[in-house]
Structure 1
């Protein structure tokens, strides 16, 4: 279980690989059971383990490689069959086994020539967990499952077990496939040193179960205390990002992007009625709608480096944590061109936002996007929501994926064009999801024989994915490069 790291402090260029690591422990998601190998996580033809009949391997090599960790689990999985052990319980069981029977307590994961992380170095947030009823309910449920599953292994006491649980949930990475879909969960000790920022300077990608950390911005030298990745999806308002981070990682992000008023005003903005003006117009659309939470000086805590002080002036009228510059004497107007909004325009905006929010939530709960619903939402949003409004961007994202599923290529192209500026705004110019969007758009254009346009999209994808994934990654080498060559040949370039 070796990891590789940047072994000098020379200047860092965007795209430089600064850490490669194998997981301390990991599990393949149960939804991928039978379609991926439980060891290398590759998708393809797999065969069941003859013992437990639960895990699958792509061949003898992976089966042999996994056996030292699987042999104890194999007996227990067979005994509780046909009951399926939840992923979190299976992961926690693997951690307990590794710490009690293997080298878990002594294993060191180096991120420099002299610096390393061990299991005990991971934060458990024990006191935060005890106060979190939702997490405590989950923990109690896992304890019951573990008592049934691990008959051959003595469980730690409740306090120790909660510490293990806390370290697992706080420090786990979601393992992603080449399309950035979740396929598993892993704990990576060295990579756990990385803090969060909503404007990161590095990115974590995966090649199977191997995590790769690459710089996405130039840096004068490697300083691990300044390397930041994003823990969450960034296509959300600052308040939603802050809430998710607080709920899952127990800190309130106060990074520069979260406190950027110019960007926050865009999140729930209306489009200016003046077609020659692209200024975002803020319209209050629901009670207590917050776009960002700022800490008072008295609230500042020292436990996390991402928290910064910020003073509020109580004399200012705030809506959603922002000064509402567009509302004066109960009249909404654009503060750039002065265009005034009637009560009818305001009511139309409010209803459109409410309608969109409701349907986005329904699609999220259903885990599927509906073409007709997306299309209707987008029709209602036209000329009402600002093109970078977060609900508009999320609707476009759902619509694009849904149209690909039903192979409506022309409409998918139309939405991809509108989605690209949204991805740049929310994810930045060097994010894997933006690179994938260019790649998907290029594939559609190539299929439609729009060769020059396809080539342009593949070149844009190449610039990004070479930085985020590197030129040895299967996504770059096996998918992008052949398509790029095909487009160049067929377009005679």
Structure 2
């Protein structure tokens, strides 16, 4: 395992030698010294220059391979099956044609040449192979609230394929990764286990694009091709208040919801970072992009209620407005209560409750309201957000469990005991499955709240 922690919440200790690396405590610092000792001297030598996280990760890999046991290290995922560094695919040809990543690789190479004076760098081809294995096979290390705090390479876990309808999840306890099944399987078969590499609350087209750009494969899992999801992701609300069916209305030119291949082939249900993926990498230029069927776009297919030009115009402007502000919030890495509230007010009675932009806005708003401690509004948004999480993430996703936990905690604070207990029981059912009953989230956060709610009731 090679890891780079990017940040840590709470009180931290700085390395007195390089003044660059931080630790959560003395014990953590002692445990890390064997790995940090060699890089500490290099950090001091290049100071005050700061080493980018990607360069530091690659430097740790080079040190482990050429000074340690990196080439021979075996990481077991069963009693007899294991993976080694050489088993990871580099995607060399894909990288060569990826301008953005080649620019990143070039910049890292320059930095590494100066940083690793005590180690002879591999030649360019070998170094690009190391870089490819790093960017394709790394995992985001998540804290207890499912926020990214670092990056790590876990050889055994890298065997897992991707699906937008996963049957397993990767959960972290500190730097330790745990793979936990969330669906029943006849037997433990690693070839059949799937996790999601990306956030699932997006359109199939956006998910496929992200996977193509970052992992060089076109996802064609059942969920991406699910017609029920396609009609909801950009759906308008039906004007008939008795009808819950979404209405499909094109809101911009070439509004694409899914990518389909030109030829119908028998594909793997999901794609992996392994040899299957290397052989079946999909060229973006060979993909036929299918959008919305406009002839059926202006009326509800369920009840026949028609949309007027005025209603269509309102929907289009609402989608454009929401799309712009979601992009701004993503770039700013922060959500503002007033902006979210304004977007949601405009979406009311226009966007379908499961429209992905509505769901994303609710998610931003809920987090923003917690930050400013506006509990009543946070509860109102949590009620609307839960069905969205179930639709996009599924019934057994850790993010849904965490949402129930946060909502239950707020209700308990407000002394709405009956509702709090119901939410915390939902959280327990999910988190016990996704995290296990020994995980700090279950033992230290959920159980005390659940016991308090039971006593109060």
Q: TM-score, normalised by structure 2?
A: 0.94
- How far apart are the structure 1 equivalents of 2:114 and 2:53? 15
Q: Does residue 105 of the first structure (1) align with residue 71 of the second (2)? A: yes
Preserved contact between residue 284 and residue 319 of structure 1 (Cα < 8 Å): no
Number of residue pairs matched by the alignment: 445
Any idea what SS the aligned residue of 1:211 has?
strand
Pairing of 1:152-171 with structure 2 (within 5 A): 152-171=118-137
How far apart, in 2, do the equivalents of 1:156 and 1:244 lie?
Answer: 30
1:396 to 2:362 alignment: yes
Query: Structure 1 pair 349/100, CA: closer, same or farther in 2 (3 Å)?
Result: same
Q: State yes or no: 1:281 paired with 2:281.
A: no
The answer to whether the 8 A contact 1:333-1:340 is kept is yes
Deviation at 1:301, TM superposition (A): 8.0
1:341-379 alpha-carbon deviations (Å, 9 max, x no partner): 110000110000000000100111111101111111111
Distance 1:389 1:148 in 2: 49
Q: Does 1:209 pair with 2:172?
A: no
1:26 counterpart = 2:3:
yes
In 2: Cα distance, 1:76 partner to 1:239 partner? 44
Change in CA separation of 1:430 and 1:298 when aligned onto 2, cut-off 3 Å: closer
Unaligned runs of 5+ in 1: 1-23, 37-42, 310-317
- Say whether the 8 Å CA contact 1:196–1:306 is kept in structure 2: no
1:326 aligns with 2:296: yes
Per the alignment, in what secondary structure is the counterpart of residue 140 of structure 2?
A: strand
Go from structure 1 to structure 2 and tell me whether the alpha carbon gap of 1:283 and 1:59 turns closer, same or farther (over 3 Å shift): closer
* Secondary structure of 1:466's aligned partner: helix
After the TM superposition, which of the residue ranges 297-306 and 105-114 deviates more from structure 2?
A: 297-306
How far, CA to CA, are the matches of 1:459 and 1:307 in structure 2? 44
Question: Higher helix share goes to which structure?
Answer: 2
Which secondary structure does the structure 1 equivalent of 2:139 belong to?
strand
Cα deviation per residue 1:274-313 (whole Å; 9 max; x = unaligned)?
A: 000000100011111100011122788884399899xxxx
- The answer as to whether partners of 1:258 and 1:292 remain within 8 angstroms in 2 is yes
> How do 1:88-487 and structure 2 match up within 5 A?
88-297=54-263, 303-304=276-277, 320-323=290-293, 326-327=296-297, 332-487=298-453
The answer (yes or no) to whether the contact 1:125–1:166 under 8 Å persists in 2 is yes
Deviations 1:115-166 (A, max 9, x none): 1100000011000000000000000010011011111111000000000000
Aligned mates of 1:417, 1:64 — CA distance in 2: 45
Q: Which has the higher contact order (CA 8 A, sep 6+)?
A: 1
* CA distance, structure 2, for counterparts of residue 300 and residue 78 of structure 1: 55
* More deviation, 48-57/172-181: 48-57
SS at match of 2:331: helix
Separation in 1, partners of 2:198, 2:170:
12
Q: Deviations over 1:418-445 (max 9, x none)?
A: 0000000000000010001000101111
Distance change >3 Å, CA 218–CA 353, structure 1 → 2:
same
Q: Which runs of 5+ in 2 are unaligned?
A: 269-275, 283-287
How far 1:44 sits from its partner (Å)? 4.3
Aligned to 2:285: none
RMSD of the TM alignment (CA)?
Answer: 1.9
